Amino acid sequence: MKSLNNILVDGSYSMDKEDLLCYGYDASGLDMSPSAVVWPASASDICKLMQFAYQNDIKVIPRGAGTGLTGGAVPSNDSIIMSFERMNRIIEVDTRNLNVVLEPGVINGDLQQTLAEHGYFYPPDPASLNTCTIGGNVAENAGGPRALKYGVTRDYVMQLEAVLPDGRLIHTGVQTKKSVVGYDLTRLLVGSEGTLAVITKVRLKILPMPESVITLLVAFNSLEQAGKSVSRIISDGIIPRTMELMDRITLAAVNKYKTVGFPEDIDALLLIEIDGSANAIAADADKAANICNGFQGKIRIADDTASRELLWDARRSVSPALYKISPTKINEDVVVPVTKVPELLAGLQALSEASGVPIACFGHAGDGNIHVNIMTDKNDKKRYDEAEKLVRKTFKLTLDLGGSISGEHGIGLTKSKYIDMELDTVNLDIMRGIKKLFDTKNILNPGKIFPPKVHT
């Protein structure tokens, strides 16, 4: 590692204990100290670093802001963490062609703010947007509340510049709306969790801000009724931009964490936002409200920006609020077809009752993506073992309903042992082959996604 000074200037790498400590974790709760941290300033720095790593068989772990929930950015103790704080420029905002060009270290929320000043927005809005980076969003194919109407990161990435594990620079994708020239390497790299290439530049689609937004807050006395409302709204052809669900445990946790004043004597709350032209959204909001009424939902409208912001601030604090009451909770991120949301919620309630372990559910119910929080305590071995069994049962329930074990958080380290519940050997063999083709020496973020036997 000492020879890093032949590649990078002073101040752009560190082997100090305090730096190693600060870069050895992510939001999964896992941590490990790397051997060094590097802060490259350009793609050319990264090419040199990867050539050095390739020649010396050194592992490199790309890291954005460390908000990943599955251990994707967690190092091993013989690896280099590559962090992108110095590559955080918004290079170009092209409103005429509706796209932007960015370095990977740009914070999602900073991009949103810059675009809002021009009257535009970038739809993927993870609840972590004030912290997470665009590089991390691309690597995880991040979603967010607005994915219901607008889709996920993959739907917005037009072009990538990336450095391969042996140090070669590649450019993928096009600036145009269409192209059918060879395989779509851009889509392959999006969601590859930092295992195939280091992303150094991104061109993303953007959209003009919608004319108006209506925000409805609907309280239910039954989680299942809330789920049924979500499913009916979509099947009746209304596509809100968000339909976020919070259950009873979640509401109580947020109230404890922040002064929000969510009602606590209810079983579920839906946060529904409809955007578009003023006339169209008024009609859709009426229809959505009528559907919720039919399932005994009680409706309130947040009609000014300040109260809307307050609600979103509360929604974005759900994850830390739940961690506060249960620091070693297990957080899963399953997704089912939207018509199956009521069955998923009922199934999870039944699993919780049968095991005696509380399960908090919240998340992007409108696109079927429910964050399942198994509220356990690592110090209580019996309860923790029971909770771990619940993970497998939750995944089985999800897959039986035609769903997927991860809607947006990826596989990383924490879910790799479950990947074969969803993917068969043929799929896994092809994916392992792709990893090998990109990374012959298995030095870029090794041990992630695939169960350990892959790398033997």
Ligand X SMILES: Cc1cc2nc3c(=O)[nH]c(=O)nc-3n(C[C@H](O)[C@H](O)[C@H](O)COP(=O)(O)OP(=O)(O)OC[C@H]3O[C@@H](n4cnc5c(N)ncnc54)[C@H](O)[C@@H]3O)c2cc1C
Q: Residues interacting with ligand X, by CB under 6 A?
A: 26-27, 61-69, 72-73, 84, 104, 126-128, 132-133, 135-137, 139-140, 142-144, 193-194, 198-199, 319, 408-409, 445
C-alpha–C-alpha distance, residues 141 and 308, integer Å:
27
For the CB of residue 445, give the shortest distance to ligand X in the complex, in Å.
5
Biggest CA pair distance of the chain: 69
For the CB of residue 274, give the shortest distance to ligand X in the complex, in Å.
19
142 or 289: CB nearest ligand X: 142
Beta strand residue intervals within 277-404, DSSP E: 298-302, 330-335, 359-364, 369-374
194 or 403: CB nearest ligand X: 194
84 or 122: CB nearest ligand X: 84
229 or 319: CB nearest ligand X: 319
Secondary structure, 3-state, 400-418: HCCCECECCCCCCCCCHHH
C-alpha–C-alpha distance, residues 48 and 50, integer Å:
6
For the CB of residue 450, give the shortest distance to ligand X in the complex, in Å.
13
- Residue 51 contacts by C-beta under 8 Å, 6 or more apart in sequence? 166, 167
For helices 318-325 and 248-257, the axis angle rounded to 10 degrees is 90
C-alpha–C-alpha distance, residues 348 and 223, integer Å:
11
For the CB of residue 84, give the shortest distance to ligand X in the complex, in Å.
6
How many CA atoms are closer than 13 Å to the CA of 266, on its beta-carbon side? Answer: 23
For the CB of residue 190, give the shortest distance to ligand X in the complex, in Å.
10
- Burial annotation 137-164 (CB, 10 A radius, 16+ → b, else e): bbbbbbbbbbbbbbebbbbbbbbbbbbb
For the CB of residue 73, give the shortest distance to ligand X in the complex, in Å.
4
284 or 367: CB nearest ligand X: 367
For the CB of residue 82, give the shortest distance to ligand X in the complex, in Å.
8
48 or 396: CB nearest ligand X: 48
For the CB of residue 385, give the shortest distance to ligand X in the complex, in Å.
26
For helices 318-325 and 305-316, the axis angle rounded to 10 degrees is 40
227 or 412: CB nearest ligand X: 412
80 or 291: CB nearest ligand X: 80
Burial class from Cβ neighbours inside 10 Å (0-12, 13-18, 19+) for residue 355 reads middle
For the CB of residue 353, give the shortest distance to ligand X in the complex, in Å.
28
C-alpha–C-alpha distance, residues 441 and 429, integer Å:
17
In the DSSP assignment, the letter for residue 28 is T
Q: What are phi and psi of 26, to 5 degrees?
A: -140, -165
79 or 222: CB nearest ligand X: 79
- Residue 52 contacts by C-beta under 8 Å, 6 or more apart in sequence? 3, 4, 7, 58, 167
